[in-house]
A and B are shown apart, each in its own frame.
Chain A
């Protein structure tokens, strides 16, 4: 079995699991999650197998593993679909495989497998807990199992299929298919608890918002195909003539080159998927979904897909860039990324919902990546993508574990408080040690705690690139964003785990089951060690302990391997300062918060804080700009005028005419001619029957007599004709 066919096989186990669960085992929870996890395990094994095999190939970037088959005949040529495995695919599939497997395992515990059925749980609502009576006979409330357990695993299986498909595909079309499958799954899974009004609103919001991006992306794909006649990465991105030709011809749109325009369109798709400003509004609401969904789709894999796409088409973006000056489109990307980074970070510091904070931090971190792409720091972006996937997944899973523990406590105490509000927590380190440690590791990685955490190295590389290429604005803004990142991370950790419990629920919080803590531990491990593969060679003291694997391996994906910026101390110092400073600031501000106290930053910032709390009123703005006008247009124009007056009128007119014609046909053709003939046939048959039925007397003897007389008559006739005749 050659390696290509293995690559082909990678996406399919989750799909098979999806169908198996939906069609067969949807009634049996254990079977369902067994199937799903086995599928994820198989994909994971295959991925790592291929990864190990591919990393043994030298110069994989220039001659990746590719296999493709003709799929759709497009006129004279065939649309090829296929798989390819180059360093970018390798690193992406590495973290995809790990996070997907971890999150599958985590989901078993998160959905309370093994717990009793809820008292009044019903599909479409989160479980409300079940009352069980212990040996002493007094009842207490415990978490109850998710009513739509099997369905959840089916959906995430389908999602995993989409992600793997996107990663291994070698052309934009199948990539887009996987992209849309993930969009669907995101829609379904955000609204997994569809009975919640907020969840329904969030799913629709997410779908429509991403749809905006996807439409532009489809335009870009079509434009690309019309220009080059292929969607095949190797033909476009690794073909200097094509790139140069695309880069130099003008598209006639705001002075974009063709490559630039295509890149812009595709990038808008990425913006939608990766929730960059201005299409960021869906991601925070997407937190309505179950936490594993938030972790996988909205932190690790799907939102990363936007970055992945942008990295994929990086040569296209960079097409026509002469000696270091980034192209127009790259500047746009840099601007969007940088702005989003600082913008989301500022919002994140004012949120109290533990998951919302993480959501905005995700947006901000993705902004980091886009900014890095925009300034041409290809490797840094890819590196930060991988790192971020791990520690953000870790953070989300940790927050889910925290919420779980809080819910446990709420079940115990019976308070009516929001288990996701950080101001209701505090002091959880004593209750949930594993979650605490892993969460702290993830948080430090996010904050870029110097030297040990993965986040430090990836961010430091971005800073170094920004500094090295003299992008001052980007550098300073990102530094500020990093500061805020460290600040709100520390704020989160402090509010959640440190200090004293602010509620009885937090007092009675409870550590989660091993199926939830095991993934945390594994991801925490990666959040630490994975950063070390990206240490620059010329870093003091530890620089040459480990070779800069990230740079060497990922870098050769590009035709022109970007030269490593030579090491300087300013970005290093900056990143250390911002991370430590932010962490310290956060700790100082939030180290002693009494229960019921307001956020101290509120007093300090005053009205700004309110703006931040309300996310710069973006939702309201969009509501005013798009939603309300859309409603008005739909109501007045489409419905009242177009539909009722014109379309219905036409339909009514047609109906009237057909009634007239029909009555004419009926009265002058159908009734007299057709029915008349039918009646005549019926009547004559009846008459004949009355004539002939007198023969059937029901007397056997008469029948026999008749038969014999006939026989004799015929025999005589035959005899006369045959014998006596001659």
Chain B
């Protein structure tokens, strides 16, 4: 008796929701970035789990996971660069103080 796929899926859903909560609620921009990473990981878990359990003959799941890795790396690089330059100009990276884009 081994682990059913549903466990993985539920785990991924929980991880995703935790990340979503972080994205919506954290003040610090870097923390938001971390939460985004959590969500991406949840997605990867789902992909790999489905690959392993249902579609183990074609490799799509893993391939997409690799793509997600690449996207995540790029996103973090650019995001952190933006935060650092914002921090240089405005002295803060608190997400609700970066609100120039308003009336």
Chain B contacts of A416 at CB under 8 A?
A: none
The CA of A702 and the CA of B103, in the complex, are separated in Å by: 15
Cα-based distance from A702 to B100 in the complex (angstroms): 14
B25, B32, B99: most-surrounded residue (chain A CB, <10 A): B99
Q: Is the CB of B24 within 8 A of A704?
A: yes
From B24, B25, B32, B101, A698 is in contact (CB under 8 Å) with B101
Would you call B95 an interface residue if the criterion is a C-beta within 8 Å of the partner chain's C-beta atoms?
Answer: yes
B23 within 8 A of A: yes
Q: Which residues of A contact B25 (CB under 8 A)?
A: 701
Interface pair B99/A699, CB less than 8 Å apart: yes
Which chain A residues lie closer than 8 Å to B96 at the CB level?
Answer: 699, 701-702
A698 touches B102 (CB 8 A): yes
- Interface SS of B by simple majority: loop
Contact with A along B63-92 (1 / 0, CB 8 A): 000000000000000000000000000000
Cα A699 to Cα B32 with chains together (Å): 13
Chain B residues 21 to 55 lying within 8 A of chain A, measured CB to CB, are 23-25, 32
Known: A697-B99, A698-B99, A704-B24. 12 other contacts (CB 8 A): A693-B103, A696-B102, A697-B102, A698-B100, A698-B101, A699-B95, A699-B96, A700-B95, A701-B32, A704-B23, A705-B24, A708-B24
A652-698 contacts to B, CB under 8 A, are 693, 696-698
| Contact residues in A for B95 (Cβ distance below 8 Å) | 699-701
Q: Closest B residue to A692 by CB, please name it.
A: B103
Nearest residue (CB) in A for B27 is A701
Contact between chains at A701 and B24 (CB < 8 Å): yes
Bound form: Cα–Cα A701–B28 in Å = 11
- Chain A minimum-CB-distance residue to B26: A701
Nearest-Cβ distance from residue A699 to partner chain B, whole angstroms:
5
* Secondary structure call for the A interface: helix
Considering only CB atoms, which chain A residue lies closest to B32 in the complex? A701
CA distance A36 to B99 in the complex (A): 73
Complex Cα spacing A702 to B27, Å: 12
Per-residue CB contact flags for chain A residues 691-726 toward chain B (1 = under 8 Å, else 0) read 001001111111011001000000000000000000
Contact B23 A696 (CB under 8 A): no
Q: What is the total number of residues of chain B having a CB less than 8 Å from a CB of chain A?
A: 12
Q: A507–B98 Cα gap in the complex (Å)?
A: 97
Q: How many angstroms between the C-alpha atoms of A693 and B95 in the bound complex?
A: 20
Contacts of B32 in A (CB 8 A): 701
**Nearest Cβ on chain A to B24's Cβ, whole angstroms:** 5
Q: Give, as a whole number of angstroms, the nearest-CB distance from B100 to chain A.
A: 6
Using CB atoms, name the residue of chain B closest to A696.
Answer: B102
Q: Which of B24, B98, B103 contacts A696 (CB 8 A)?
A: B103
- Cα A702 to Cα B32 in complex, Å, equals 13
Nearest opposing residue in chain A for B102, CB measure: A698
Closest chain B CB from A697 CB (angstroms): 6
Q: Which of A390-438 contact B (CB under 8 A)?
A: none
| Cβ contacts under 8 Å, B102 to chain A | 696-698
Q: Collect the chain A residues with CB atoms within 8 Å of residue B98's CB.
A: 698
Q: CA separation between A697 and B101, bound complex, in Å?
A: 8
Within the complex, what minimum Cβ distance (angstroms) separates B45 from chain A?
A: 22
The 9 A-B pairs with the shortest beta carbon distances in the complex, nearest first, are A698-B102, A698-B99, A693-B103, A698-B101, A699-B96, A696-B102, A699-B99, A705-B24, A701-B24
Distance in Å: Cβ of B83 to nearest Cβ of chain A:
13
Q: Give the docked Cα–Cα distance between A702 and B96 (Å).
A: 9
Q: Which residues of B contact A700 (CB under 8 A)?
A: 95
Specify which chain A residues have a CB less than 8 angstroms from the CB of B100 in the assembled complex: 698
In the bound complex, CA of A696 to CA of B99 (Å) = 10
A693 CA to B103 CA in the complex, in Å?
Answer: 7
**A708 — which chain B residues lie within 8 A by C-beta?**
24
Give the distance in Å from the alpha carbon of A28 to the alpha carbon of B85 in the complex.
60
Nearest CB on B from A583, distance (A): 104
Q: Which residue of A lies closest to B101 (CB)?
A: A698
Alpha-carbon gap, A33 to B100, bound state (A)? 69
Report the nearest B residue to A689, measured CB to CB.
B103
Query: Closest approach, in angstroms, between the C-beta of A319 and any C-beta of chain B?
Result: 93
User: Which residues of B have CB within 8 Å of A693?
Assistant: 103
Q: How far is the CB of A696 from chain B (nearest CB, A)?
A: 5
CB of A713, distance to nearest CB on chain B (Å): 16
Residues in A neighbouring B99, C-beta threshold 8 A: 697-699
- Within the complex, the shortest CB–CB distance from B95 to chain A, in Å, comes to 6
9 A-B interface contacts by CB (under 8 A): A696-B103, A697-B102, A698-B99, A698-B101, A698-B102, A699-B96, A699-B99, A702-B96, A704-B24
Residues of B within 8 A of A701 (CB): 23-25, 32, 95-96
List A contacts of B23 (CB < 8 A). 701, 704
A697, A698, A702, A705 pick with most chain B CB within 10 angstroms: A698
Closest A residue to B99 by CB, please name it.
Answer: A698
The interface residues of chain B lying within 8 Å CB-to-CB of A697 are: 99, 102
Report A708 CB to chain B, min CB distance, Å: 8
Closest Cβ of chain A to B2, distance in Å, is 34
Q: Could you mark each residue 512-551 of chain A with 1 if its beta carbon is under 8 Å from any beta carbon of chain B, else 0? A: 0000000000000000000000000000000000000000
What is the CA–CA distance of A696 and B24 in the complex, to the nearest angstrom? Answer: 17
The distance in angstroms between the C-alpha atoms of A642 and B99, with both chains bound, is: 74
